[in-house]
Amino acid sequence: MYYEKLALEVGATVAGLTVVKPARITGNSGVEQKFTFVAGDGPEMYGFDVYPEVGQVEMLRAYVKKMDTDARVYVVCLSGRPNDGAKELAKNYGIEILGPREVGDFFSKRIALQIEARRVAATS
């Protein structure tokens, strides 16, 4: 889990996001939601939870955090093999499950382009 957290932190920093430490977001309910890693770009927050295995319980936890914080929530499955129930819930809840190989370049391939597009649009 240490490598994945470090890779997320480096990727977020390179993409120009602010790394939030401790990795917590206060939800609309007033409850402080704890993540493995959190980064933000202004009001847009990205929360990640890393688990050795991902099943329905982990997806339900992620869903509650997503609904309470309005953050974009991602689940990292270290085994690379989430169970079928987790995959179905992820699809229904709009939460992406990442494998360990996708973590290193997550921000550079997916988020950095979206952030840059928003910044360009805001300045034009």
Instruction: Give the pLDDT confidence of 64-104 residue by residue, as tens digits.
Output: 999 999 999 999 999 999 999 999 999 999 999 999 989 98
Q: What is the CATH number of the domain that holds 91?
A: 3.40.1350.10
Residues whose CB falls within 8 Å of the CB of residue 52, separated by 6 or more in sequence, listed in order: 1, 78, 79
Lowest-confidence pick of 1-10, 23-32, 36-45, 114-123: 114-123
> For strand 24-26 and strand 96-98, is the pairing parallel, antiparallel, or unpaired?
unpaired
In the chain, helix, strand, coil percent, each to 5?
Answer: 50, 25, 25
Which pTM does this prediction carry?
0.88
Question: For the chain, how many structural domains are there in total?
Answer: 1
- In the structure encoding, which two tokens stand for residue 18, read together? 């602010």
Domain limits for position 87: 2-123
